[in-house]
Structure 1
Amino acid sequence: MNIKSPTNARKEFYELLKQVNDNNEPVYINSSNTENNAVIIGQKDWNSIQETLYLESTGTLDKVRAREQDQSGHTNVDDIDWDNL
């Protein structure tokens, strides 16, 4: 876990941007006032989080999980109604 103070994060900001994108590891910025804490993540990771939240909010992930637990056999991809997931 990469934790920086706001002062160090400011000094190393460009390097931190490269790190979060190269390593897919967030950088935590912790200040003495917990209301001012933050996390820096790369754009790809942010997009993945947003997509997961969207799929969760539409119920799509529930259906995926149910199919993963289905022991009745394999689902034929051609039988899936993709527009109504």
Structure 2
Amino acid sequence: MRWEEVREQFPDEWVVCEALKSRSENGYWLIDEVALIDRFDDSTDAMKRYYELHREQPYREYGFFHTSREELKLREKWAGVRGLR
């Protein structure tokens, strides 16, 4: 599901999603398609659900977002891992 579709169907809500299609661009992680997992009125409940999912399956790309966001564009953090010299 595209983010625009999520925003239309669930206005002014917190949603927990899995990123299905994403890309890195200029230091940002852009999410193009998501699978909606759950929705909440409260950010605390959404965060709790996100942490539950992340603990169960840490290798999957979950996130929780408010549908007032126009796009899913997140600044990437440098993990501090260096390559071979």
User: TM-score normalized by structure 2?
Assistant: 0.31
Larger Rg over CA atoms: 1
Structure ranking higher in helix proportion: 1
Larger RCO (alpha carbons 8 Å, 6+ apart): 2
TM-score using structure 1 length: 0.31
